[in-house]
Amino acid sequence: MNAMISRCGNSIGFRIPRSALNQSGLHEGDMVSVTLVDDSVVLRRAQRKDLPTLLNAITPENVHGETIADAPVGAEVW
């Protein structure tokens, strides 16, 4: 199966033939991960992470602190 790389607005892309979409189970709007392997570009369905996995990834090093302002900031009106 061949596909031509072409300009899509300010980006470059290619069209995935319908037969490849049907075999892969991908649909318009699905997220894919792009991996470079040697001289190949590999597309895979992006894995969605569930909430417990995301919450378990929070550590003291990557959580930001809270800032509580006691007066309006910028154009805010209290």
Asked whether the predicted pLDDT for residue 70 surpasses 90, the reply is: no
Domains of the chain: 5-56 (2.10.260.10)
Q: What is residue 23's predicted lDDT score, i.e. its pLDDT? A: 92
Pairing mode, if any, of strands 40-45 and 5-8? unpaired
Q: What is residue 36's predicted lDDT score, i.e. its pLDDT? A: 95
Supply 13's token pair.
Answer: 């892309």
CB 34 within 8 A of CB 43: yes
Predicted confidence (pLDDT) per residue in 14-49, tens digit: 888 899 889 999 988 899 999 999 999 998 888 888
